[in-house]
Amino acid sequence: MKRPVTVADILNSVEFELLQHSLMQDDVSEGIQRLRAYQARTRVELFGQGKSPAFEDVVSAQFNANEMMMTLIQVLNERLEALRQEVRQAAHLKQHTPSTADSPPDWGALSDQPFGSSYAHFYAFDFAPAASADLPDRTHALEALAESLQDASTVVEMEVRQSHLPIIGGLLNRIRRALHELVLFYTNKVVRRQAQVNDAYNVVLQELVALNRAQAQEIAQLRWHLQRLTAPGAQNDQASNG
């Protein structure tokens, strides 16, 4: 039989939503998806069948992609700053609240992947399940982005329309080919550079998300501690234990 909802369940939901709110990555996730779609669409438009792309079109598309990535990084950075503040507040509260005798459950097994060595200090706390709820979305989005970047053509191929005019046709084809080669030389240079920039962005995004995840878990852990400490009876337990 299904257990009826209690006000304690509602309070937990509110706590969860408040935590989610500070971590909510919906728009970031959506932004990454949008960037991926844009990449795919642009790739088809620029390098698909039809006319070869104009140099300005390639550069313009790259600037748009840059703009989107920079915005994503900016948003993630702001989130990170907000999280840092919350961590500080929670740590401060924890520091100024007496600890209870019972220790938190070991959530470590719920970790889906290890963190880089630079975040090793986050292992000081166990994991709480609430914080990890939205992480898979972000991870998937980021993986999709990485995949999209790997797929992206880093070289623009030449496609020259052949002229079949008598006598001057061959000459025209050679001139066209020479001009196209010149344009493609510069275009490919920019495209390769952009590919490097994209990779760099991807690395930054990966790091930010990993850091974000680690801090989320730390916050969840601190919240858990706080809840235990402020729960009715905690003081009594402590007194009896002491």
Partner 1 sequence: MPNVEHTFSVIVNTTDRAASLKILLQALEHQSYPHFEVIVVVGPTRDHTLDILKEYEGRLRVLHCPVANLSVSRNIGLRAARGEIVAYIDDDAVPSRNWLLQLNRIFANPLIAATGGVVYLVHPAHSAIQHRLGIISALAEQYDVRAGLLDKLPPEGLGRFWTMRMMGANMAYRRSALMAIGGFDEFYEWVYDDSDAAVRLASAGFLVQPTAEAPVYHVPASSRNRVAFTFQGRWWIQTKAAVYFSIRNGRSLGAPPRDILRRIGYFVHGHWLWNVDLHRHKKISSGQLLKASMLEAKGAFLGATNALFRPPTLLSQSMHHEENTSTEPIQPYLNQDSALQPSVDPVSGRRSTVTLVDPPLRVALLSFNYPPERYEGVGRHTNLMAKGLFELGHTVHVLTHGKQEGVSFYDGAYVHRVPYRLNRYLHLRHLPKVHHLLNYSHAVHERLERLLLNDDIQIVDTPVWQADGFVTAVSGMLPVVVRPQTAQRQIGQIERDFSDDTRLVGEIEETLLRRAALIAANSFATTIALQKVYRVSDQSAPIQIIPHGIEAVADEATRPFPLDRLPAKLTVLYVGRLEKRKGIQDLFTAIPKVLRRLPHVEFIIAGADNSEADGFKRKTGLSYPAYFRKRYPECTASVQFLGEVSEERLQTLYQSCHLFVAPSLYESFGLIYLEAMNYAKPVIGCRAGGIPEVVDDGVTGRLVDPESPEQLAEAMAALLQSPRTLYEYGVAGRQRLLDRFTHIHMARGFEQVYRRVLAETAAMAQSQPTPVQKAESTS
Catalog residues that contact partner 1 under the rule CB under 8 A: 4-7, 10-11, 13-15, 17-18, 21, 27-28, 30-31, 34, 38, 56, 60, 63-65, 67-68, 71-72, 74-75, 92, 95-96
Tell me how far apart the alpha carbons of residues 19 and 217 are, in angstroms, rounded to a whole number: 11
- In angstroms, give the least distance from the CB of 211 to partner 1: 16
State which residue, 17 or 181, has the beta carbon closest to partner 1: 17
- CB closer to partner 1 out of 126 and 211: 211
Residue 65 CB, nearest approach to partner 1 (Å): 8
Of the pair 95, 236, the CB lying nearest partner 1 is at 95
Closest approach, Cβ 113 to partner 1, in A, equals 26
**Backbone torsions φ then ψ of 182, nearest 5 degrees:** -65, -50
Other Cβ atoms closer than 10 A to 46: 19
Q: Least CB distance from residue 174 to partner 1, whole Å?
A: 29
**Closer by beta carbon to partner 1, 10 or else 158:** 10
Amino acid at 19: L
With 0-12 / 13-18 / 19 or more C-beta atoms within 10 angstroms meaning exposed / middle / buried, residue 242 is: exposed
Rounded CA gap, 110 and 102, in Å?
A: 21
Structural contact between residues 95 and 226, judged by C-beta atoms closer than 8 angstroms: no
